[in-house]
Structure formats: structure tokens, C-alpha cells
Amino acid sequence: MQIEIATLFPDMCEAVLSESIIGRARRAGYLSVTCHNIRDYTLDKHRRVDDKPFGGGMGMVMQAEPVYRCWEAVCAALPEKPHTIYLSPQGKTLTQQRARELSRLPALFLLCGHYEGVDQRVLDKIVDEEISIGDYVLTGGELPALVLTDAVARMCTGVLPNASAFEEESHFSGLLEYPQYTRPELWEGEGVPEVLLSGHHRNIDKWRQAESLRVTQEKRPDLYAAFLEQENSPE
């Protein structure tokens, strides 16, 4: 998969995306992520990319032309038009299911807004979908783009050791994950559930399923109710 991030702060994105699992996957060639500086596409001699909003009001608005020229240059270098996402507090909230669907696409173009946002005309022209990471407002789209990239990338082939690494995690099946324990066996006087030390895989699986239901019911009754409804629906 190819992810193209258009931002005014490419170093901020690179710093995160060069580290850990995503950084390793990029170096190993399982994933290609490129950060494009929208400022490189302005025709303004002072490299300006924003201006005051028409109609007055606070703050600045990112201009249409540099964003459009950046998008056109990225599209020209790809075999087909990337699915274009504007990270926006007005978008649909990101879910595990949407991240899974996006991970199956060949290429994504992620547009990060800043200041008061982006001139609506370029959004109307290039954006396929708006995605929010939650009902709150951040200063820019970079953190949301990083969140989206991480959530999508870890489900791309080769990034994690195998699909069960993400299929068994919270939200994939509609439930939260069971509690996890590691060495030492005794810490601060607390042991670990006996079944996990038994080596009996069927019993371990049963315990994990039961814990997964318990934890979901306790922490996210909304997810638990939706899960039960789906389980009991006639297909």
C-alpha cells in the first residue's frame, strides 16, 4: 500500500513514521509512506499558503491552489488516482472497520488541514471522504493523519507477523481484548490466572473468550449490546 500525506509539517509526520513497527515496515518495503510539503507547491514568491477568510473572522485559511497542485503532482506519479481523504473534525469518526477497508486500497492521499481549515473549493474538487478521529478539534490534521496511517498500515500484509496479530485485538470482532500478562509469574504478590500457565490451549481460548465478553460488558456496554444483537440476528 502507498500512503501519500500532504501537510505543511512533513518533518512532524516523518518523525513518527520513521520509528517502531511502521518505520521497520517502510524500510522493509511492505509499506510506502511519503510526506509532501504543500508549501513546495505554492506559486507565491514568499511561499505563502494561507490567507484571510472571505467574509471576515478569526484565523487563516489554507489556499486552494497549493493543495491542488500538490495533489495533481502526486496523482501524476501514481498508476491510478489515490482515494483522497481530508482529515477533518467534520468527517465520519474513524473505526477499525473503516481502517480495515482502507487497508485494502492500493493508495491513499491524506490531506492535513491547519489554521481554520482549507478553502472549500479544493475540497469539493479532490476529496472522496472526510475522516475525523473524534469529536474534538486539534490544531492540525497531522496527528489525525498519523493515527489513520498507523491504524491502516498495521493491517497491511507484512507489517505485523500475521493477521491474527490484529484480528484478535480489541474492536476487530466487535469485542474488546481479554487481559494480557507476562513474566514474572508473581509481581508485588499478585499472580496470573492459573489457566494461562496450564499449557491447555482449548481452556486458554475459552478463558480468553469469556474474559473478552466480560471486559466488553464492563468497559463498553454499547459495544457489548451491539455484539449481542449481531450474534442473535437471523443473518
CA torsion 48-54-60-62 (nearest 10°) is: -50
How far does Cα 23 stand from its chain's mean position?
15
Q: Which of 63, 88, 212, 216 binds ligand SAM (CB under 6 A)?
A: 88
186 scored as a contact of ligand SAM (CB under 6 A): no
CB of 94 to ligand SAM, least distance (A): 8
Toward ligand SAM, which CB reaches closer, 138 or 226?
Answer: 138
Helical ranges in the chain per DSSP H: 10-17, 20-28, 64-76, 96-103, 120-126, 142-153, 164-167, 201-219, 221-232
87 scored as a contact of ligand SAM (CB under 6 A): yes
Scanning 10-18, 35-43, 70-78, 110-118 for contacts with ligand SAM by CB under 6 A, the matching segment is: 110-118
Report the Cα–Cα distance between both ends of the chain, in Å, rounded: 33
CB proximity list for 94: less than 8 A, separation 6 or greater: 131, 132, 133, 147, 148, 151
Interacting positions 147-176 with ligand SAM (CB under 6 A): none
Burial of 98 by CB count in 10 Å (0-12 exposed, 13-18 middle, 19+ buried)? middle
Scanning 75-83, 139-147, 158-166, 209-217 for contacts with ligand SAM by CB under 6 A, the matching segment is: 139-147
CB of 62 to ligand SAM, least distance (A): 8
70 scored as a contact of ligand SAM (CB under 6 A): no
Give residues in contact with ligand SAM (CB under 6 A). Answer: 87-90, 112-114, 116-118, 132-134, 136-141, 144
